[in-house]
Structure 1
Amino acid sequence: MRRAGEVRGLAQGVAVLQCEEETYPDIGTEVIDESLETVGRVVDVFGPVEQPYLAVTIGDSVHPPTLVGETLYAR
């Protein structure tokens, strides 16, 4: 398990995470919260190379507004 990034915002069922490092999870990687519950999967990587952003689809069992500001992890 490694840190994927912090949720900066939500848009159309997708969480936008800002990575803290140049390394980031691959597209299709499962994303979890600190209690090891699945949040969704990485569907896109965009933005500057130094600190890219991830687009993560949000699972049906997750209440999206609770994610903003949370740190998520790649499994």
Structure 2
Amino acid sequence: MRRVGTVVRTAGGLAIARGERGEEPPRIGSSVVDESLSTVGRVVDVFGPVDRPYVAVTPNDGDGLAPLVGGKLYAR
């Protein structure tokens, strides 16, 4: 597994995670899990600065976005 980053906010039905410095961003379409290894969703976009990009994740369950803010996400 690879670290995606920390969820900094939700916007437009997506969870937006800030990538970790020095980590390669995940590929679009990668499955994303939370710290308890529960599947959260899939990566739909990677954008922003190259050294620490943002990662947009579309959730499997749109109602469960708010608890993700502040949590770490990982790509399988």
What residue in structure 2 maps to residue 36 of structure 1?
Answer: 37
- Give me the identity figure in percent: 56
CA contact (8 A) 1:47 1:53 kept: yes
Provide the C-alpha distance between the structure 2 equivalents of 1:35 and 1:7, rounded to a whole number of angstroms. Answer: 15
User: Residue 27 of structure 1: SS of its match in structure 2?
Assistant: coil
TM-score w.r.t. length of structure 1: 0.93
Provide the C-alpha distance between the structure 2 equivalents of 1:70 and 1:18, rounded to a whole number of angstroms. Answer: 11
CA contact (8 A) 2:13 2:62 kept: no
User: Following TM superposition, where does structure 1 have runs of at least 4 consecutive aligned residues deviating by more than 6 angstroms?
Assistant: none
Unmatched 5+ residue regions in structure 2?
none
TM-superposed deviation, 1:21: 2.9
For these two proteins, the number of residue pairs brought into alignment is 75
1:9 matches 2:9: yes
Unmatched 5+ residue regions in structure 1?
none
Instruction: Give CA deviations for 1:12-59 in whole Å, capped at 9, x if unaligned.
Output: 210001101341100000000111111000000100001000000011
CA contact (8 A) 2:26 2:43 kept: yes
Identify the range of structure 1 (59-68 vs 6-15) with the bigger mean alpha-carbon deviation: 59-68
Q: Say what the alpha-carbon RMSD is for the aligned residues.
A: 1.3
TM-superposed deviation, 1:74: 0.5
